[in-house]
Amino acid sequence: MTTAWVGRGEPASWVRRIFGRKRIYGELAEEIRAHLDEKVEELVAGGMAREEAEHAARREFGNVMFAEERGRDVWRWARLEDFLIDVRYALRMLRKSPGFTVVAILTLALGIGANTAIFSIVDALMLHPLPYPHPSRIVHLSWKFPARVNQNLNDPEFKFWRGHSRSFASLAGISDERGVEIRAGTQSGWMKGLWVTDGFFHTFGVQPVLGRGFVRADTEPGAPRVAVLTNSLWRDFFHSEKNIIGSQIVLDERVYAVIGVLPRGFEFSDPPEYSERPDLFVAQRFAKGLGDTGYNTEVLGRLKTGISLAQANAEMRLLSSEFNAQAPPFLRVKGTMLVRSYQSYQEHAHRTILLLLLGVVSLLLLVACGNVASLLLARATARQQEISVRMALGAGRGRLLAQFLTEGLLLGLVGAAVGVGLAAGVLHAAVSTIPWNLPATSQIRLDNRVLLFTLLLGVAVSVVFALTGYFRSWVPDWSSALKEGGRTGAIGRRGGKILKLLVVGEVAISLMLTLAAGLLLDSLYRLYSQNLGFDPAHLVVIQTEPLPGKQPTTKAAFLADQREVLARLRGIPGVESAASVSVAPLTGHQNFPAQREGHPDDSIGGTEFRAVSPGYFSTMRIPVLRGRVFLASDVTPKPTVAVIDETLARDWWPNGSPLGGHIVVGEYKGHEYSKSRLVLEVVCVVGNTRETITRPSPPMVYYPGGSMQMDWVLRVRAARGLHAAIRNALSGAWPGLRIVSIRSMPQLISAAVAQPRFNALLLGMFGGLALLLTLVGIYGVLGFQLSQRTHEIGVRVALGAGPGDVVRLVVGQAAKLAALGIVLGSAGAMTAGSLLSSLLFEVKPLDPAVYVASGALLMLVALAACYVPARRAMRVDPVAALREE
Amino acid sequence: MAKKRKEPRDLFPGALEMMVLRTLKWQPLHGYALAQHIKRQSNNLLRVEEGSLYPALQRLLKEGLVKAEWGVSATGRRVRIYRLTPKGARHLEREVSQFEQMLEGITLVLAPGKT
């Protein structure tokens, strides 16, 4: 081998350099040996004794080791190798104090894991585009009034907008969503159906793979009934039958023709209140004339290419006044049509809670970081001597900083990795239990974006830690630190101040989180304990639906069937009383415009109506305030009497008695709204009831009788073991009824508060975590400070301080810091509190009781954290403490 | 103190490298010969610590300013013979002219007061 192979311009020379370094080093050593040999030979030839010559040669050459080392240094990849050394060193440091390492990594993992989990939900709900082609062009239409937004339209409005607007490539109405019984050939089952107009599939950018979608003619009054199947229904129920198009299926006893099958992968997972995905789509057929004038149609559209949201909204404003100009008076609307992007409309339902949770978890991460930072600070002070030695040996500032960065990165990245594991576990276990009716639950996952977010978090906290440790331990004058021997290792004014600030900050943040959790828990408690206006205990609610084609043909026969069902229900052992109601509390609404007879100004557009059997009030235990409740003789095909609630009595008859007054159902501001106009005489006033758990109900009118859709309420001695008897009673008395559900009222309440309960649980959990972290943080800081003050305490004890004084010293400081934190946290919470108000129920964001309780809890935690340090301080032996000096 | 002159060391960073390149410009040499040559040429005024020659040679090798080949010396031993590369020659020229400028400047400043 004679050529030198090392040179800059050679291809991939650095690769060879790394792998060929051993050889370079060998050659260098050989060359130096040869050099010395040659020198010795020369000197010996000159007459010097060999031994002396060897000495002289070495003298002339200088330090052989040093020359070799510096020669080798030329070839080193200094940065990388220093980094690897730092990593090894950092690992050793972390291994040396396993307690610190485990606490720090767990703390970080909790903080980062919570952020990862919440971010993945935010990512899925707010940052991911909807799974349809050109999703940004899909819009949602609603009426915007000065104070609120009404998300639904009625049929005349939908037809007007479809006919007159030019901003949309298509408009689609969704008018109903319900479970249907499907029969085809010999099989049958229950499926979820969605009633939609033509334009629906175009709006969502999907084409049937077999057959066709809906056209305008399919929605005309009296058109043949047609349905389009989702791919999964076609596969699972119809076994991918190729000749399905044109075949007939029976939905709820009505015959429909299958006209299309949608492609695989199209899933309509939507409006927040529609929790289950539809299995099939049914063409909505408009009624003759005006159509349905109830606000029951959700309207979606696809913007034409080149039309912006702003342009569409401008057209809507013009059309809104045009609509009112042509509409009959009772259909006029004092609002404008609002076009929103469908995505933002969907996000809207969850935005508040998601933003709140994001805020909460970032605060939690702050607490976690504060904790780890204070641990690091304490440790950095303890490491002062090590750092001083390193600086004395010539380590530059840059190398020290690199060292701390490496340690911080190790902590941060390991914490982030463990956190991702935690988040994945929690999401996997809990995502299906989130009661938010998430539109795209299956999309919540730890994708690349979430992982990148976590990585960035990990790096960010690492840098913070590195800087904390670096600035703390960078000693301007290492020689004096060395002399001190690190024994007293006083943390110094600045370090002590930072530690105190960290404690105050942690307490302040924890207080804010505790407050938020406290407010939500208080709301939840009030939701549970509020007076519903009826007695929910031992109440069973049965929801039934009439099966089409199996119904009594006259109203009188219908009422007779109803009486028969009630009689049989009352006959079940264990049932104290039974009654029927068109819509039981907490299960839905039924409303209609109404007017006080002769007083057009006393009109309410959405008066709640319930058809009830005479025993309803006693079964529900709704208090009767004035007058008499319904009698069996009041139940006639055309009702004439009404029972109203307190609210309506106060609204319409503020001064006189409502008894004997008349209500006109189906009339609004002097205009007839419906052909089924009824005049009812008020015979009774009863207490208000909650029909929705979170909101007071609008004014309520009860009338005697029944409706096709019927709920049954039973007052029982025990709610268990009744199902079979209930089923028997119903099917025996009225075979045309299908039981939709049998639930106890407490179950209904529980379902109704699922969302607030989940929110409170989540916040409670995060608040609890923050408290735990704060406890550990204060404990760590106090314990560390105590170890720094052993000498001082020893002096005090020697001068006559008793155990009480020592405890006061420790506890007093913690209490002061906690109090400062509580004040700052309260101030912060007061400014941020309004964010919570939409999630609260009958609790003000500034509820003093919650503030006091949270502050007390925080103080308690701070004092609990003092327990061990205070006991340790009391046991300080003055002699030993002083001898240490 | 007179003793101090006994340890004339590397003058300034890069001086040794410059001398090595300069020497190699005349002829390829191995390490020992290079050291002796520099010593002789400087009339022992600049005493190079022989050991420091090797890190300098390694730097020049890495930069591609010299090449090394194993060969046999005049005394018959296996040695590494260094040779200037064209890049090294250009580098030397640049360094020398910069050095001369600097020297000129220093000389002017140090020259006894010509006003």
Q: pLDDT (tens digit, 9 = 90+) per residue, A311-352?
A: 999 999 999 999 988 888 778 888 889 999 988 887 776 778
Chain A CB contacts of B68 below 8 Å: 4, 6
Nearest to B69 among A2, A63, A71 (CB): A2
Nearest to A27 among B59, B62, B80 (CB): B80
In terms of Cα–Cα distance, which of A525, A436, A522 is closest to A845? A522
Asked if B17 and B59 count as a contact pair (C-beta separation under 8 A), the reply is yes
B95 located within any domain: yes
Chain A residue with the nearest C-alpha to that of B75: A38
- Name the strand (E) or helix (H) holding A755: helix A754-798
Asked if A760 and A513 count as a contact pair (C-beta separation under 8 A), the reply is no
Cα A169 to its chain centre, rounded Å, is 34
Whichever domain contains B59, its CATH number is 1.10.10.10
Segment A712-732 mean pLDDT: 86
Q: What 3-state class would DSSP assign to A872?
A: helix
Which of A270-279, A303-312, A388-397, A625-634 bottoms out in mean pLDDT, i.e. has the lowest?
A: A270-279
pLDDT band at A216 (very low <50, low <70, confident <90, very high): very high
Asked if A10 and B63 count as a contact pair (C-beta separation under 8 A), the reply is no
Burial of B108 (0-12, 13-18, 19+ CB in 10 A): exposed
Helices (H) and strands (E) counted in chain B, each on its own, are 4, 3
Chain A residue with the nearest C-alpha to that of B74: A38
B9 located within any domain: no
Residue B70 main-chain phi, psi, to 5 deg: -75, 135
- Which one-letter DSSP state was computed for residue A239? T
Q: What is the pLDDT of residues A845-859, one digit of tens each?
A: 888 999 999 999 999
Instruction: Convert A726-747 to b/e letters by CB count within 10 Å (16 or more is b).
Output: beebbeebbebbbeeebbbbeb
Q: What 3-state class would DSSP assign to A684?
A: strand
B20 located within any domain: yes
In terms of Cα–Cα distance, which of A575, A550, A608, A870 is closest to A725? A575
pLDDT of amino acid A740: 82
Q: Decide if A67 and B52 are in contact by the 8 Å CB cutoff.
A: yes
Q: Quickly count: other Cβ atoms within 10 Å of residue A171's Cβ.
A: 24
Q: Which of A5, A38, A43 to mutate to test the interface with B (most CBs of B within 10 A)?
A: A38
pLDDT of amino acid B49: 75
Q: Quickly count: other Cβ atoms within 10 Å of residue A145's Cβ.
A: 13
B2 located within any domain: no
Between CA A7 and CA A418 the distance in angstroms is 46
Tell which wins on pLDDT, A125 or A62. Answer: A62
pLDDT band at B4 (very low <50, low <70, confident <90, very high): very low
B5 located within any domain: no
B22 located within any domain: yes
Q: What is the pLDDT of residues A75-107, one digit of tens each?
A: 776 667 777 888 888 888 888 888 888 888 899
Residue A308 main-chain phi, psi, to 5 deg: -95, 165
Helices (H) and strands (E) counted in chain A, each on its own, are 25, 25
Q: Quickly count: other Cβ atoms within 10 Å of residue A12's Cβ.
A: 7
Asked if A94 and A409 count as a contact pair (C-beta separation under 8 A), the reply is no
Nearest to A34 among B57, B64, B77 (CB): B77
Segment A111-120 mean pLDDT: 89
Q: Which two tokens stand for residue A169?
A: 């490539």
Q: Which of B50, B63, B66 to mutate to test the interface with A (most CBs of A within 10 A)?
A: B50
Between CA A260 and CA A208 the distance in angstroms is 6
Q: What is the pLDDT of residues B67-83, one digit of tens each?
A: 988 888 777 788 888 99
pLDDT of amino acid A162: 92
pLDDT band at B45 (very low <50, low <70, confident <90, very high): low
pLDDT of amino acid A7: 40
Between CA A426 and CA A761 the distance in angstroms is 14
Asked if A167 and A307 count as a contact pair (C-beta separation under 8 A), the reply is yes
Tell which wins on pLDDT, A814 or A484. Answer: A814
Cα A194 to its chain centre, rounded Å, is 27
Which of A248-252, A264-268, A622-626 bottoms out in mean pLDDT, i.e. has the lowest?
A: A264-268
pLDDT of amino acid A16: 57
Q: Quickly count: other Cβ atoms within 10 Å of residue A64's Cβ.
A: 16
Strands (E), A152-279: 152-153, 168-184, 187-196, 210-211, 226-229, 248-251, 254-261
> Using alpha carbons only, what angle is made at residue A811 by residues A809 and A815, rounded to the nearest 5 degrees?
120
pLDDT of amino acid A479: 53
Tell which wins on pLDDT, A203 or A837. Answer: A203
Q: Decide if A74 and B59 are in contact by the 8 Å CB cutoff.
A: yes
Between CA A380 and CA A843 the distance in angstroms is 46
Percent of chain A at pLDDT exceeding 70: 89
Q: What is the pLDDT of residues A667-716, one digit of tens each?
A: 877 777 666 788 999 999 999 998 888 777 789 999 998 877 789 999 99
Tell which wins on pLDDT, A232 or A274. Answer: A232
Q: Which domain holds residue B68?
A: 15-110
User: Angle A448-473/A98-122 helices, nearest 10 degrees?
Assistant: 140
In terms of Cα–Cα distance, which of B46, B53, B56, B50 is closest to B8? B46
Q: What 3-state class would DSSP assign to A350?
A: helix
Q: What is the pLDDT of residues A528-583, one digit of tens each?
A: 888 899 999 899 999 988 776 677 778 888 888 889 999 999 999 889 999 999 99
Q: Quickly count: other Cβ atoms within 10 Å of residue A542's Cβ.
A: 26
B31 located within any domain: yes
Please report the DSSP string for A385-438 in residue order: HHHHHHHHTT--HHHHHHHHHHHHHHHHHHHHHHHHHHHHHHHHHHGGG--S--
Runs of H (alpha helix) within A271-396: 309-326, 342-382, 384-392
| A170 strand-pairing partners | A302
The residues of A whose Cβ lies within 8 A of any Cβ of B are 1-4, 6-9, 24, 27-28, 31-32, 34-35, 37-39, 41, 60-64, 66-68, 70-75
Please report the DSSP string for B77-98 in residue order: -EEEEEEE-HHHHHHHHHHHHH
Q: What is the pLDDT of residues A146-165, one digit of tens each?
A: 777 778 888 889 999 999 99
pLDDT of amino acid A124: 77
**For residue A527, is pLDDT > 50?**
yes
Q: What is the pLDDT of residues A768-809, one digit of tens each?
A: 999 998 888 888 888 777 777 777 888 888 888 888 888 888
**For residue B33, is pLDDT > 80?**
yes
Q: What 3-state class would DSSP assign to B101?
A: helix
Between CA A378 and CA A303 the distance in angstroms is 61
Which of A221-235, A491-505, A560-574 bottoms out in mean pLDDT, i.e. has the lowest?
A: A491-505
Q: Which two tokens stand for residue B36?
A: 């002796």
Burial of A574 (0-12, 13-18, 19+ CB in 10 A): middle
- Which one-letter DSSP state was computed for residue A632? G
- Name the strand (E) or helix (H) holding A482: helix A478-484
Q: Decide if B68 and A71 are in contact by the 8 Å CB cutoff.
A: no
Chain A residue with the nearest C-alpha to that of B7: A60
Between CA A127 and CA A489 the distance in angstroms is 50
Tell me the pTM: 0.67
pLDDT of amino acid A224: 94
pLDDT band at A514 (very low <50, low <70, confident <90, very high): very high
Between CA A466 and CA A472 the distance in angstroms is 10
Asked if A503 and A780 count as a contact pair (C-beta separation under 8 A), the reply is no
Show Cβ contacts of residue B32 under 8 Å, excluding neighbours closer than 6 positions.
A34, A35, A38, A39, B73, B79
Asked if A470 and A745 count as a contact pair (C-beta separation under 8 A), the reply is no
Q: What is the count of structural domains for chain B? A: 1
In terms of Cα–Cα distance, which of A498, A512, A514 is closest to A464? A498
Asked if A780 and A506 count as a contact pair (C-beta separation under 8 A), the reply is no
In angstroms, what CA-CA distances link A864 with A360, A404, A589, A659, A852?
Answer: 24, 33, 51, 63, 18
- Name the strand (E) or helix (H) holding A291: none
pLDDT band at A273 (very low <50, low <70, confident <90, very high): very low
Tell which wins on pLDDT, A481 or A208. Answer: A208
Residue A175 main-chain phi, psi, to 5 deg: -105, -20
| Strand pairing category for A254-261 and B66-72 | unpaired
Tell which wins on pLDDT, A29 or A682. Answer: A682
Segment A518-533 mean pLDDT: 88
Instruction: Convert A496-525 to b/e letters by CB count within 10 Å (16 or more is b).
Output: bebbbebbbbbbbbbbbbbbbbbbbbbbbe
- Which one-letter DSSP state was computed for residue A691? S
| Mean pLDDT, rounded, of chain A | 83
- Which one-letter DSSP state was computed for residue A330? G
Cα dihedral across residues A499, A502, A508, A510: positive or negative: negative
Between CA A149 and CA A623 the distance in angstroms is 35
Q: Decide if A60 and B59 are in contact by the 8 Å CB cutoff.
A: no
Please report the DSSP string for A785-811 in residue order: HHHHHHHHHHHHHHTT--HHHHHHHHH
pLDDT of amino acid B98: 86
B25 located within any domain: yes
pLDDT of amino acid A486: 44
Chain B residue with the nearest C-alpha to that of A1: B70
| Strand pairing category for A187-196 and A280-283 | parallel
- Count CB pairs under 8 A between chains A and B: 86
Asked if B62 and A74 count as a contact pair (C-beta separation under 8 A), the reply is yes
Q: Decide if B58 and A38 are in contact by the 8 Å CB cutoff.
A: no
Kindly state whether B51 is in contact with chain A, defined as any CB-CB distance less than 8 angstroms: yes
Residue A607 main-chain phi, psi, to 5 deg: -75, 135
Q: Give A12 to chain B, closest Cα distance, Å.
A: 14
pLDDT band at A3 (very low <50, low <70, confident <90, very high): very low
Nearest to A4 among B30, B67, B73 (CB): B67
One-letter amino acid of A237: F
